[in-house]
Every structure is written in structure tokens, then in C-alpha cells.
A and B are shown apart, each in its own frame.
Chain A
Amino acid sequence: MEKFTAFTSRLAPLPIDNIDTDQIIPARFLKTTSKAGLGQDLFYDWRYDADGNPKPDFILNRPEGRAAQVLLAGDNFGCGSSREHAPWALLQYGFRAVISTSFADIFRGNALKNSLLPVVVSHDTHKALFAALEKDPAATVTVDLARQELTLPDGSAVQFPIDEFAKHCMLEGVDELGYILQQSDEIAAYEAKRALTVNTLA
């Protein structure tokens, strides 16, 4: 994984609460066995008409959406299924962060493991961001993970929370599996004292 560095970007606003993973990437695109090619199917049913042509008014088909590396979405983003195809598709489209007032648990975990940053902001900040974009669709924010700081279009900055360990992994560009594998001795020790519960090979 690449190291996650601070960046400044425009925003793609999607002012809808409870955007679920079936909208982010519909299930029929989950028959693939690779991670590649999902960006084109991101938000497919909102983004394309029945003939597969881009709907001109959908934000990802407009210039301001295409220029954005940050998605600004409504509350409880990513609810629904555990499909990691959702963050893969968002990343492949070009997003590096999603701003919302809250994220569904599984989506948040999946996003962090792929270096897609879920940025949780207060309802006031959330409203202010949508208002700023209404005034100026080219408004930008700066996302600084090291400082856990989001700089708003008016130049003010807010802090956002993030799991300390996920932050470390993203900033260093390392993944969790390597860290878990280092603890093989602890795992073996646990297995040695564990009561056997089931044997699927029996």
C-alpha cells in the first residue's frame, strides 16, 4: 500500500442519508474474482440510464464530480453488506476520502484497510460543507491524516477521530496482516490452551 499523504481536493456532494453498499456497487458486479475494473461500476444504477449511458446530472458524471478526490455524503454511509468491493470501487474511481456524519461499521473497517479515509464530521460542519459547495462548486478541503485535521473551504480547520492503529498503518503504507503474522507465537500459545470446539475436517 502507498503511504497516505495530506492532499487538497474538490468535493463531490451526494446529499443522501444511508447510502448502502448496493448503491455503491450493485451485487451483480460481485461475480468478478479480481479487484480490477470496479471503478466504472461505482454507483452504477444512479450513474447510468437503462441503456448504460451516463446520466448527465449525476454528480460523478459532471466535471466537478470527476475532479473530486473527496466524496461528501449523508449520514450512515456504507450501510448494508460486507462487500469490500465498495471501497475498492470508490478508490478506483479516484476517491481517497469520504466525509460523512457517521459510517457503518463494516464499511469503515473495509475502507481503512484499503487506505480510503472515512472522515467523520459534526452535523454543523457537514451542513457548512454542503452550503459552501452550493456557493462555490469548486470549493476545496485539505485532508491531513497525520494531524487528523480537515481544513474547510473558509480556511478554518476541524479535527476528526480515527483509530490510532489504522492511522499508523495508513501513514506508513503497511497492512494489518503483516502485523498479525508477527504474533504467530502468541496465536500458537492461545491454540495450545484452547478447548477444541469443532473440526470441519471430521
Chain B
Amino acid sequence: MQSQKVTEKPRTIIEKVWDNHIVAERPGAPTLLYIDLHLVHEVTSPQAFAGLRQRGLKVRRPDLTIGTTDHSIPTYDRSLPILDKVAGAQIAEFERNCRDFGIPFFGPHSEKQGIVHIIGPEQGLTQPGMTVVCGDSHTATHGAFGALAFGIGTSQVEHVLATQCLLQSRSKTFEVRVEGTLKPGVGAKDIILNLISRIGIGGGTGCVFEYSGSAIRSLSMEERMTICNMSIEGGARAGLVAPDDTTYQYLAGRPYAPKGADWDRALALWRRLPTDPGAQFDKRIEIDAGALEPMITFGTNPGMGIPISAPVPDPAAVSDPLERESLGKALRYMDLPSGKPLLGHPINVVFIGSCTNSRISDLRAAANILRGRKVNPKVRVMVVPGSQQVKKQAQEEGLDRIFKEAGADWREAGCSMCIAMNGDQLAPGEYSVSTSNRNFEGRQGKGGRTFLASPLTAAASAVTGVVTDVRTLL
């Protein structure tokens, strides 16, 4: 039969992944969207499992679900008992829930344990074109593979456990095009902190980002994950990068990646995902990678970022009264003057870790700065690998020795001081340079003050004991 030629409207990758997952569209209701992979952890799931039990429901697809413990787990020696009884009970209850509902569990002693957003990619669970959800706002990390990945609340964790579906409304599309070549000492973390400082932490609300352009193409998968990870800090629930050969090379041979003929079939589908020429985005922004400096935040949200040599902004120069008050409040909390750069500001702690920057390439970058140097004696430095696999790899490469010889603390895998609910935290008034993703008041411990930056900037500041431009140590 002669098929009629259908002129298809060019679509973005965001629309393609969405369209591939529509289960049903009923009038008066959001789209029913299928979820390919559900990552579950101890903190945002207990009430969802309780809900399943109350209704007498099972987990519909345990084979599309994985559990691990990362948020409240201590990062000290795993052979020791968990001293925080409340955290210990939460982890024990999670293990029971996984067992009762048939969900594979990467527990505290599993070699696959780690931060949800580290282990999904490293195990090959996260794949292009998937929908991925987790009760965690940094789920956008998985977007680095061309997956539509977003954080959900506990009610939705229950929905996905019970039905493998979510009711969702289509988001707007927002292209973030990064062109050019990064200068030495400038990396993925600086790109994303720069974006957020430009659009603000609500700039991407209602949107999904697609990161594109020559600078994004030249990044490794781990660097792309760093960028996608912080999409939520720009207000976007999801952010993704179209898959390419870098993606496929990373995935090939990973434990849960397709093999043999399945791989060939998958690859053919993945190659159709990238945004069609001529597809329209609702919003766009361009960033010149070559013009970027290392970035650092000075305030109490990730949008309050500046190039490392730039002065902290002056609230008096802000016209909107609420904005002016918010900036003033942030500087009072941080106890910082406006009008001069942060360079040289003393710090107490350096944290290298989190789902943003705890992969092997992050640890290598930090180790390159710390090799043959000593941590400033006034600074406490914690290096927390994102997973047991990252830890193992780092130890095989001798990175742990570099960290320890420099005077840094080498820990077990987990979220640790990024969210500070496992005992790893700042004391009130302390300043940290942190490779994590949030500098909200008290985020790293009540009264603690966070400067967000790259692993390079964090390592450089660990050596000097003050906020430092890493380019002076390269």
C-alpha cells in the first residue's frame, strides 16, 4: 500500500521522550505518563510504602525499581553500628520495605550502594530516552543520557510504585546553548552556576532544559551529569543532553545496559532521539563558554553566584524592595560585606562530594590539586565518594592516598554534608567551600555558611585555607 507522506512537525528531544511515554490522555486530566525507571531511597519513601499497605497494593514493576540508602546513612566505617537511632531505624525500615515488596536493594554493605544519582548511571540503569523518577529533586542528573528525569514527592513515589505511571502536564521547553571552549580551570560546575546566576533560581520554573552547543558536546558524561544535576537549582524539574557517541561509549558494557542484539536495537532507537532541525523551543539562552571564569556563590541560594574575581553585589543597587531585602538577608546570614570579591575569605571546611560532584573525574580533579600539597591546618576537608564503585576505583588509582597524605578525610559513600542529615555537618557560623548543589541557610548544618564551587576551586581553597582561584595553583 502506498503510504501517504506525513509531514511531521520537528520535535525537540524533550517532546519525543514525552510522546513515547504517553499511556493515556483523557479530557480534563493531565497525561498519564509511563515511568521506565524508579529510584527509591530511605528518606522520601516510607510514607509511600505505608500508603501501599493501607490500600493493600503491590509494587507493579519491581523490575523497573531500585532501592539504595544514601541520605541518612553515616559515611564512617560501615562495620560500625549506626549511632543515630532514628536514622538507623529509617534505613532498617527501608530495607524491610524493599524486601516485602520485592524491590532490589543496594544496602549499606552492597558494593553497588551509593547516591541514587551516581549509581543509576554507573550501573547502566539510566539509558537514553527513558523516563526516570526519584523522590529527590536532583533526579535531573540522569538527563545527561537524554532521559526525561525529574524529582517527585512522596505521593508520587506511591503512584509510581503502585502503577508505574504518573499524571503529568507537559512542560515548556528551554534551550540552553553553550558554545565555545572552556578555559583551563573552568568546568561543568562553572557552566551551570553561571546559568543559574543569569536566569535566577526560578528562571526555569515550568520548563525542561535541553543543554546543547559545542561546549556541551565536548563534555564527558560525568561533566554532563554535573550540569543536568543542578537544573532544579534553576527552577527546571528536568534538564537533558541529547545522546551521542560519548553517551553510547559510556554505557556500553555497564552491568544493566543492553547487550548484543538488544544493544543494536536500543542504539537504533537512541539515535532518533536528538532534537530535529527546526524544532522550536519556548525559551532560549546562549552562554559563551570561553568567557567563563570559575564561579562561586556568595549567598543563600544557588542563583547568588559570581565569577570568582567579581565583587559581591550591593543590595543598595537593587531596585525591587523584596529582592533587595532578600539579598540583604542573605549577606547578613553569610556575614559578608558587599563590594569586594570572596577571594581570600577564610574558610573552615571543604566538602568534596554530593550527587553533583562525587564521581571519579571529580575526585581526580581534586586529587590533581592536592597531590604533593597539604591541606591548610585550619581547614577540615571531607572527601566523600558518590558510590562504593567510585570509592573502589579511586582507591585502585591511589587517590585515597593523595587525599589522606594531604590531610583530608576519606569517607564512605553517601549524600553526607550536602544535606547534613547523617551527622556530617558544619558548626554554626562555619564557612565551607562545597562541591554540592545548595547553599540555602542551614543546608549543611544549622548556622553553617556555604560557598558552592567546583572540585578544583574546593581543592585549591583546601590548600590555602581561604577562597582561592584555582588558576593560581595550576
Asked if B474 is at the interface of the complex by the 8 Å CB criterion, the answer is no
What residues of chain A lie closer than 8 Å to B323, measured between beta carbons?
17
The 10 closest A-B pairs by CB, nearest first: A33-B46, A110-B153, A84-B153, A76-B202, A82-B151, A84-B154, A113-B155, A22-B440, A186-B24, A82-B137
Q: Which residues of B contact A (CB under 8 A)?
A: 23-24, 28-30, 32, 34, 36-37, 43-44, 46-47, 50-51, 55, 60, 62-66, 71-72, 84, 86-87, 89-90, 93, 103-104, 125, 127, 130, 135-137, 139, 151-156, 158-159, 162-167, 169, 201-202, 205-206, 232, 235-237, 256, 258, 262, 265-266, 269, 301, 303, 322-323, 325-326, 329, 419-421, 428, 438, 440-443, 446
- For the A-B complex with A180-B167, A197-B258 known, give 12 more contacts whose Cβ atoms are closer than 8 Å: A15-B325, A22-B443, A34-B46, A45-B441, A74-B326, A80-B440, A83-B44, A179-B29, A183-B163, A197-B130, A199-B63, A200-B104
Looking at the assembled complex, report how far the CB atom of B317 sits from the nearest CB atom of chain A, in whole angstroms: 17
- The 28 sampled A-B contact pairs (Cβ below 8 Å) are A15-B322, A16-B326, A17-B323, A17-B326, A18-B201, A23-B440, A23-B442, A27-B71, A28-B420, A74-B322, A79-B201, A79-B202, A81-B136, A82-B44, A104-B235, A106-B137, A106-B153, A109-B152, A176-B159, A180-B162, A180-B165, A181-B162, A183-B24, A186-B23, A186-B24, A196-B262, A197-B130, A199-B63
Known A17-B323, A82-B135, A83-B153: A31·B163 in contact at CB below 8 Å: no
What residues of chain B lie closer than 8 Å to A35, measured between beta carbons?
47
Q: Report A169-192 CB contacts with B as 1/0, cut-off 8 Å.
A: 000000111011101101100110
What residues of chain B lie closer than 8 Å to A146, measured between beta carbons?
none
Known A31-B87, A84-B155: A190·B23 in contact at CB below 8 Å: yes
What residues of chain A lie closer than 8 Å to B165, measured between beta carbons?
180, 183, 187
What residues of chain A lie closer than 8 Å to B166, measured between beta carbons?
180
Q: Which residues of A contact B (CB under 8 A)?
A: 15-18, 20, 22-23, 26-28, 30-35, 45, 50, 74-76, 79-84, 102-106, 109-110, 113-114, 163-165, 168, 175-177, 179-181, 183-184, 186-187, 190-191, 194-202
Looking at the assembled complex, report how far the CB atom of A59 sits from the nearest CB atom of chain B, in whole angstroms: 15
Q: Which of A31, A34, A190 interacts with B43 by CB under 8 Å?
A: A31
Main SS at interface, chain A: loop
Residue of B89, B154, B258, B419 with most partner-chain A CB within 10 A:
B154
Closest to A112 in B: B155
Alpha-carbon distance between A83 and B136 when the two chains are bound, in angstroms: 7
What residues of chain B lie closer than 8 Å to A168, measured between beta carbons?
28
Looking at the assembled complex, report how far the CB atom of B279 sits from the nearest CB atom of chain A, in whole angstroms: 23
Known A31-B90, A177-B163, A181-B163: A20·B43 in contact at CB below 8 Å: no
What residues of chain B lie closer than 8 Å to A113, measured between beta carbons?
153, 155-156
Alpha-carbon distance between A55 and B334 when the two chains are bound, in angstroms: 20
What residues of chain B lie closer than 8 Å to A164, measured between beta carbons?
28
B32–A186 CB distance below 8 A: yes
What residues of chain B lie closer than 8 Å to A32, measured between beta carbons?
46, 86, 90
Alpha-carbon distance between A201 and B258 when the two chains are bound, in angstroms: 14
B446–A177 CB distance below 8 A: no
Looking at the assembled complex, report how far the CB atom of B70 sits from the nearest CB atom of chain A, in whole angstroms: 13
Residue of A16, A33, A35, A109 with most partner-chain B CB within 10 A:
A33
What residues of chain B lie closer than 8 Å to A110, measured between beta carbons?
153-155
What residues of chain A lie closer than 8 Å to B63, measured between beta carbons?
199-202
What residues of chain B lie closer than 8 Å to A180, measured between beta carbons?
32, 159, 162-163, 165-167
